Amino acid sequence: MTAVARTDLMPNRFVRGEAPLDPTREALIDRRERVLGAGYRLLYREPVHFVRAENMYLFGSNGDAYLDFYNNVPSLGHCHPEVVAAISAQAARLNINTRYLDETVLEYAESLVATFPDEIDRVMFTCTGSESNDLALRIARHVTGGTGIIVSRHAYHGTSASTAEISPNLGGAVKLGAHVRTIPVPGAVSVPEDDAAAFLEGKVKEAMMDLDRHGVRTAAFVADTIFSSDGVHTDPHGYLAPAVDAVQKAGALFIADEVQPGFGRMGRAMWGFDLHGIVPDLVTLGKPMGNGYPIGAVVGKQRYVDGFGAVARYFNTQSGTTVAIAAAHAVLRILMRDRLMENAVARGKELVEGLNSMRDDGRVIGDVRGQGLFIGVSVGAAETSNAERRQLALDLVNALRQRKVLISLCGANEDTLKIRPPIVCSSEHVAMFLDRLKASMDEVST
């Protein structure tokens, strides 16, 4: 077998020939290559074959349990029995779309918008986060008459045609639109926290001026409110506010992409934008909304959502079906009932304290940042090269995978550990993760 050169920005992926595999996985990979095409990626140097899941664990074909500290899609843990029961019961009773009257969708919509500021009181359902961002862009362009979009330098907002062109994270082969401007995130370029707000505001204003200079009116500033793809940057709380204010005063919209930070993961706040004391014009939702069942949404201010809807109808056969809504409503109900935001605060504190206690003068573990159960950890000494830090991070992630713990990477250099467990995570799970991380650190640093 011949190893394939890496050509994209996803270093933590399987490349055939880099690791020996058993015949079963070799055969599965052969079948994938024959029928799924080249666009897909498998995680880790040695791919894992999973056959079932429960709570915080994924189980391999040989029965081994893997601790999932990466997957935010099942926000309440894998195969949550109440969510599964809600889906099953609704599928057995009725599954219709939003073109028919139904109380189920209204009850959930009312519960969902109640978690937002009063000004945000309309919701349109989608199937995925990509579709949510795509729809939000359509609304912003209709409202403003502009086409210009501002995003962070290493943002990821989706895979549709319009969201891929505002997602520099996808790599050089996926071209950004001529109407797109990228700006650096303060923490990613080592701007002191006291200067972060002014720095970001200045960069957003520069981007709007550059768009205007090229005859392009700004439609929106789109931001994942934890800047996860840029390396996880939450601090200082409030630093987004002046930039958002500048955008809104200029007549453009602020779209808060809450696909990754939302639904209580921050612990202290239901939504990432809450940490900054801002009210977005539109909010996009996805992944954890249905605990694995595909559902997303755009939640926004009445004048924008209704203004768009009055002249440009929106409908998707599979979005907002009663089965999807049953899944989402179960997730929201369990999240509130079981006080999982409080759990995210407590477990996040344990996780950060444990990570900081393992810092070794930055040789392996560097800066630890994040909020609740979404943590980014810089890897490698500052004086080492980008390539060395990326390789160290990749080695560490794969050493953890060999110890049956799953995490991944983020950041412009892909040298930040992305730690994002389901928010049902317990103290026992945190301790297990830290113990196996320490063993992996010892391995890669020898």
Query: What pLDDT score was predicted for residue 9?
Result: 60
Q: Is 251 left (phi over 0), alpha (psi -120 to 50) or beta?
A: left
Query: What pLDDT score was predicted for residue 38?
Result: 82
Answer whether 373's CB lies under 8 Å from 425's CB.
yes
CA 235 to chain centre: 17
Identity of the amino acid at 196: A
Q: What is the pTM of this model?
A: 0.94
Answer whether 311's CB lies under 8 Å from 281's CB.
no
Q: What is the mean pLDDT of each run of 10 residues along the chain (446 residues)?
A: 44 77 87 87 90 97 95 95 98 96 96 98 97 98 98 96 96 93 96 97 98 98 97 96 98 98 96 97 97 97 96 90 98 98 98 93 87 96 91 95 96 94 98 97 88
- For helices 81-93 and 322-337, give the axis angle rounded to 10 degrees: 150
